[in-house]
Amino acid sequence: MDQTVDDLRTQLEDFATTVQAVPEVDEPPKTTLEVLDRRPRETYWISWLQYLLDPSQPHGFNTTILDVVLKLVTKGSEDAELEYQSPDDIVVKSEVGGSHGNRLDLLVALLEEWAVCCELKVTSGERDGQTRDYYRDSDLPPSDLSVPPDSEYYVYISKADRPNASAEAFQDVSWQELVNAFDDVLLSIQGDATERGMAQLRDFRDTITREVSMTDQEYSERQREKMELYLKYHDEIQQARDAFEDIHDREKERWTERFLEEYRPDTWSDEWNCEHSKRGLIYRDDWRLDANRTPVDDRDAAVYRLEFQHFLRKRSTFTDGRLRVRVYTSRHGVPNTYREAIKELTNNEYYDELADIRQQYGIEHVAGKKVHAEKYYSFDPTGGPDVAYETLAQAFEEFIELAPILTQIHEQALDRAMNQ
């Protein structure tokens, strides 16, 4: 039987208090290599992973290892597209230098298409703000790769019990996830993988397993205590989780109705539309056109599309109290000439005009073909969906200031695309 809300709140507060009382433990003992003061173990791991990821190396896996790692990199992104035609076009580098002394552990890239920047942590943790520095570094990935900013991806590989990357742009991946992926490869690999290549992969997997499972008895005991607390309060936690999932599922499907009926901004007018889907798209009539330059409501029938996009559909928006809003041009079904023109006009001719407005509201410029501007809005997640909708209304009030200039850019991009 469900408890009352007050009873549930009391039980969860007791749970939170008890968990916080469980003491943290110190780092596990140093590994043998560290005691012997050999070169950093992390350097070995970087070299090993670089070798396995590179399709040109003689391990016999071709792109199999690369593909499973790219899948892990994009596990949290609905829009990521890391495709390639030929493995010969893939670039894999280690110790890639940036500005201000930044040095990226691994880089996997496809020239002019996409880049994955990898930071690996084995025994150490992140230096203060390290991943934020890397994300802000204009020389990472290197400019000679000519990768669009919206096709730059970041991954932070560390032990599962360590803090996540400080930069939100980094996808957090645990070494254990990598081990699981390697196990899948070893169980299913077919074709040209050499015996030596298989042995190398097993050796690396075993090295990871020994390191990440190396933990002292005290740490295991603390984890066991937390597990017991979870089991003790499981029913209360599950009720709260079920309530959250129910509300989140409902809101991501009905956001258009609630937004327009209860939180409609004062600047809203009849020329603006919300797409009735969970994709979170807001657009002007003349921003969604068919091949004849006629406004259409059906996104699939539109050839030219410029949109505001928000991410109320993401669970993390509600759990973390951070709403992402961006100016967006989809790559699906949209002519490349139109997207290139939007990018060129946004980054050059109209840059200063847009910057004057962006700077007033802290909206960031993004110099890509898909994303042109974005901002993360913070709110108190304990306020529930109401606060999220209020935040979305505030975001629209700010982004609409860009609309007149964006419309000019859109029209010029249309002219260029249709006259070619």
What pLDDT sits at residue 187?
78
Q: Are residues 199 and 347 in the same domain?
A: no
Q: Based on the fold, state whether residues 331 and 408 are members of the same structural domain.
A: yes
pLDDT exceeds cutoff 90 at 409 = yes
Residue 81: pLDDT band (50, 70, 90) is low
More confident residue, 383 or 218: 383
DSSP 340: H
The confidence band for 123, taking pLDDT boundaries of 50, 70 and 90, is confident
Q: Angle 175-188/195-212 helices, nearest 10 degrees? A: 150
Same domain, 208 and 225: no
Give the span between the Cα atoms of 313 and 362, in whole angstroms: 23
Looking at residue 120, its pLDDT comes to 93
Mean pLDDT of the chain: 84
- Per-residue pLDDT at 12: 61
Q: Which domain holds residue 271?
A: 239-418
Give the residue-averaged pLDDT of 23-33: 47
Sorting pLDDT into bands at 50, 70 and 90, what band is 28? very low
Whether the predicted pLDDT of 146 surpasses 70: yes
**Domain count for the chain:** 3
Does one domain contain both 256 and 384?
Answer: yes
Q: Does 80 have pLDDT greater than 90?
A: no
- How high is the pLDDT of residue 334? 82
pLDDT of 136 > 70? The answer is yes
The predicted-structure confidence for 328-372, as pLDDT tens digits, reads as follows 888 777 888 998 999 999 999 999 999 999 999 999 998 877 889
pLDDT of res. 78? 54
Is the pLDDT confidence value at 25 over 70? no
Q: Based on the domain organization, do 92 and 137 belong to the same domain?
A: yes
Same domain, 276 and 403: yes
Residue 406 and residue 307 in one domain: yes
DSSP assignments along 347-365, one per residue: HTTTHHHHHHHHHHHTPEE
Same domain? 134 vs 262: no
Q: Which amino acid is at 25?
A: V
Whether residue 268 is found in the same domain as residue 145: no
Confidence bin at 111 (pLDDT 50/70/90): confident
In this structure, the answer to whether residues 136 and 207 fall within a common structural domain is yes
Which of 200, 232, 264 is the endpoint of a domain? 232
pLDDT of residue 8: 58
Same domain, 204 and 255: no
Which CB contacts under 8 angstroms, 24+ apart, belong to 414-420? 414/289, 414/293, 414/304, 414/338, 416/337, 416/338, 416/341, 417/304, 417/335, 417/337, 417/338, 417/341, 418/293, 420/337
pLDDT of amino acid 125:
85
Based on the fold, state whether residues 199 and 307 are members of the same structural domain: no
Instruction: Write down how long the chain is.
Output: 420
DSSP assignment string, 108-150: EEETTTEEEEEEE-SSS---TTHHHHHHH-TTSS-GGG---GG
Q: What is the pLDDT of residues 269-307, one digit of tens each?
A: 999 999 988 789 999 999 999 999 999 988 888 999 999
Say what percent of the chain tops pLDDT 70: 85
